[in-house]
Structure 1
């Protein structure tokens, strides 16, 4: 991980916060990784509540958002979130985890003052978790990587919108206090803010998945005659996809930031293990088959960090960053998968146990290659962009 004093473009305030986050995560949060308050779907809300209490005491609750509601730059946020990611509990503790971080960004940029006061304020305070209801079950022919396939419908009934449909892979729905629900009307896609729990939003089941770092896991949801006051719609009917684009690129990139921090941690643990563990008369790291893999990790980590900061700079210049964030998502998730896999491999049997977080990080990175757009979807989108640019160049 690049030392903070070598990262350009950071204010002194942001540099100080990032340093404090690293110290807090290493000294206070990492010891909680063995805490039994985990189920197969993630940390319990009781554990999250305790960790956030510690973050408040340290003055690190939602550190990338200033007291006046403004955000630090994406570059400064990267310096903070990479360090929060050093533990799979770190981002949860300081309230920069998904989906909350992306939802806070969205509301902060497009929510009305009334919606911000009611929904955003408790999220920034770390008092309520949130969920984003967009993806739909394949068996229903619903929206996944192609949001235009959305089947969940809404219609206006007096001064309320009525929503019906099903959703899936809804991260953190179980235990969330706030939901952002996407549905389609005659005018197009719409986005609504709702209080949770609501009897009209029913969890059919919480899926058993390869990852397990997000409280509440990932749920299949049935929405049955959900009535939402008209003033809880974001913007106007038909603007839902436009607002989803506001959230899209920054949320992709913050995933890269957090999991980059986790893989730096895996590299640290694998390096320590291979320098201490001996075989065939010398430390493991002195065997080329091991040392070369850690060297390749160092290269991949550096490239992933550069890609992350490059995309952050694109966003900081005011660009929507759709293409750049696709490139970053592909490059970083694939690089980190290689890093996580090599860390497991060089640690041998120890690498597949829960004695260290290396095994857990490997599972989390495998899931990261899929959510917020699988690698193949991003490559397909980039291919279309390349073709479009070529056609434009032909005049």
Structure 2
């Protein structure tokens, strides 16, 4: 028997989150500190303080734990504004990094690198993607970490590194020659980390944007290794499967917000003698959106159910990421269409949601890479 009822305590928390985001965070959406490169860290700290006062900071890291299904409900509510996850400290990359560190870091590493991120006093970075290789295919990793006595010397170049400016907790993926890809921990002010520039991208919902970073003889001790040498790909998969889903959860909230704005406009805007929502063309757009939103929600819950049972859910999370990112983009597009001229302006947040949603189709792997992974799994299953 499948039960879709949300437990009372989760529903209560969802409603608190939605009210908090709607009343406390939405007014910041036109703040000048929401720049072309995303919210500034100054704004983030102000929002973090509000969430902390409301008892809603880093709820996914609470001591009693939170299932993936519970996260799906709460993160959707947080995503009602793209600033909601920033305020509640459940935005990427911090949310995914907290998950990874809580699973792999030892006690000393957790105290030094994880706890400050959970508290919202600093931000984190996951430095994997490279301009000439590693990204959707991390096996093309070219950044190296060469052993030198009791240290590792890291050299290489990364890009699209989210939130690098001002971040203190850094997780760096580099290849240890002869031993394999490895994750390293260090602080952002460690000599050898060079931030070349902030990239101009179409999205603007991640704190301090995305950067090009260079490592020049970054020297780290043996104790900086996160987990074991040569296990980076395994740890990355541990992080990426749930992270794909949390992206989907948050953007489902944003798409639902766009839909609510489109519905309100369709009720009040008149054309040819009646509200435009009464015209079949507009009504059908709204109906298609509602169908897609519920399909996306149920697919997310389905994959979360697999994770909560202890499955790795790589296949399931790839299916969800491929479907949800494409469908939510269509939802945002239809909302722009319903809104007409104001849909391409900043009179509502819909245009920004639409633009950010286009970038979401590439986060944690483009749709084509996930379809490739899905097809490979299907062929493996058929061969058994």
Mapping of 1:1-395 within 5 angstroms? 7-8=4-5, 10=7, 12-66=8-62, 68=63, 71-138=65-132, 142-185=133-176, 186-392=178-384
Is the 1:17–1:63 contact (alpha carbons within 8 Å) kept by the matching residues of 2?
A: no
With over 3 angstroms needed to count, the CA separation of the structure-2 counterparts of 1:113 and 1:65, relative to structure 1, is same
Distance in 1 between the 2:12 and 2:115 partners? 24
SS in 2 for 1:64: helix
Using the TM superposition, give the Cα deviation of residue 388 of structure 1 relative to its aligned residue in structure 2, in angstroms.
Answer: 1.2
Structure 1 residues 211-255: Cα deviation after superposition (integer angstroms, max 9, x where no partner): 001011111111111111211211221111111111010000000
Using the TM superposition, give the Cα deviation of residue 201 of structure 1 relative to its aligned residue in structure 2, in angstroms.
Answer: 1.2
Using the TM superposition, give the Cα deviation of residue 275 of structure 1 relative to its aligned residue in structure 2, in angstroms.
Answer: 0.8
Using the TM superposition, give the Cα deviation of residue 9 of structure 1 relative to its aligned residue in structure 2, in angstroms.
Answer: 5.5
Distance in 2 between the 1:53 and 1:63 partners? 14
Give aligned pairs, total: 381
Using the TM superposition, give the Cα deviation of residue 14 of structure 1 relative to its aligned residue in structure 2, in angstroms.
Answer: 3.0
Distance in 1 between the 2:10 and 2:262 partners? 30
| Corresponding residue of 1:3 | none
Is the 1:14–1:72 contact (alpha carbons within 8 Å) kept by the matching residues of 2?
A: no
Distance in 2 between the 1:85 and 1:175 partners? 24
Using the TM superposition, give the Cα deviation of residue 15 of structure 1 relative to its aligned residue in structure 2, in angstroms.
Answer: 3.0
Distance in 1 between the 2:281 and 2:10 partners? 40
Structure 1 residues 5-38: Cα deviation after superposition (integer angstroms, max 9, x where no partner): x95354x443332221111001110111111112
Using the TM superposition, give the Cα deviation of residue 156 of structure 1 relative to its aligned residue in structure 2, in angstroms.
Answer: 1.7
The structure 1 segments of at least 4 consecutive aligned residues displaced by more than 6 Å after TM superposition are none
Distance in 2 between the 1:47 and 1:72 partners? 27
Using the TM superposition, give the Cα deviation of residue 204 of structure 1 relative to its aligned residue in structure 2, in angstroms.
Answer: 1.4
Using the TM superposition, give the Cα deviation of residue 158 of structure 1 relative to its aligned residue in structure 2, in angstroms.
Answer: 2.4
SS in 2 for 1:120: helix
Distance in 2 between the 1:102 and 1:254 partners? 8
Distance in 2 between the 1:36 and 1:232 partners? 38
TM-score by length of structure 2 reads: 0.97
Distance in 2 between the 1:275 and 1:45 partners? 38
TM-score by length of structure 1 reads: 0.94
SS in 2 for 1:190: strand
- Runs of at least 5 residues in structure 2 that lack an aligned partner in the other structure: none
